[in-house]
Amino acid sequence: MFDKIRNWRIRRLVARHPIAEPLWRDALRRCAPARRLGATDQAALRVLVTLFLERKSLEPTKGLELDDADRVLLATHACVPILKLGLDWYDGWHSLIVYPDAFVPRRTHTDAAGVEYETRNAMAGEAWERGPVILSWTDVLHAGREPGHNVVIHEMAHKLDMRNGDADGFPPLHRGMDRRAWSQAFTGAWERLQEARRHGDELPLDPYALESPAEFFAVASEQFFERPAALHQHLPEVYRQLELFYRQHPF
C-alpha cells in the first residue's frame, strides 16, 4: 500500500511540475552521460530530475543567477549516478550551493607538532557529510570538456560514499555484492597506479584520484559515466564493481 501511495504522489508531482521539452532536450545535449542513455532510461531520469528539483534547494551565491535551463542541467548531472538507485540515496541533505567560479574556503589545520596553520585552496566542488554540496558553476559547465571530468558526478559520488559514514571509498554495497571483491579491485588498482606514477607513466585517471581512497572512488565514478570505455579498458576490475554498484552499463 505504501508503494502505491508513494508512486501516486510521484506521478502527481511530475504532472504538476513537468520539465518543458526544450529544457529537457537542452539538458540532454549538454550532459553526455544522459544523452547516451536509451529512451526508457532517459524517461526515468527525467522523473528523477523533476523530483530532485522539488526536494533539493539549488542556491546560487556571489551574484550568480541560474535560470530554468541551468537548474535542469545541474539536476540532470546530479541524477545520473542514482538512475538505478533512486532519490532516497540522496536523503539526509538538502542544499546545493553554487558559486560563479572556483571558491576558496579558509581552513585551519594543526600539524603533528601542534602548530596551527591556515590554508586557502581554490576548489571546484566539495561535499559535506549530512551538509550541502558546494559547486563551481564554471566547472559544472565544463563537465566533459576535459576527458572524464564531471564535478557534479564527483561530488555526488562523495555523497553516496558518505551514506555509511566518512567518505573512504567504500560506499554501502548492495545485497549480493562482495566486499572482498570491491576491496581487491580498488586496492589493486590503487597500488598499480601509485607504482605507475612513481615511474612517471601516464595514468588512465586524473592523478587527483591518488589523493585518498575517497577521491579514487569519486574520480573513478566520473570516468565510469563520462568515459566508460576507457575505464573498462584500463581498470576493468574497478569498472565491474562500479557497474554493480551503480547498476548501470554505460557502454
Helices (H), 129-212: 137-141, 151-161, 179-198
Phi, psi of 109 (to 5 degrees): -125, 155
pLDDT reported for residue 4: 45
Q: Which of 245, 128, 231 is nearest to 189 (CA)?
A: 231
**Three-state SS at 95:** strand
Helices (H), 56-136: 68-79
Please tell me whether the overall predicted TM-score, pTM, comes out greater than 0.95 for this model: no
Q: What is the pLDDT of residues 191-203, one digit of tens each?
A: 999 999 999 999 9
Q: What is the pLDDT of residues 87-124, one digit of tens each?
A: 999 999 999 999 999 998 765 655 566 656 555 688 89
Give yes or no for a contact between 77 and 143, defined as CB atoms under 8 angstroms apart.
yes
Identity at 237, one-letter amino acid code: E
Question: Domains in the chain, please, with CATH?
Answer: 18-246 (1.10.472.150)
Q: Is 80 exceeded by the pLDDT of residue 73?
A: yes
Q: Angle at the Cα of 185 (from 198 to 202), degrees rounded to 5?
A: 30
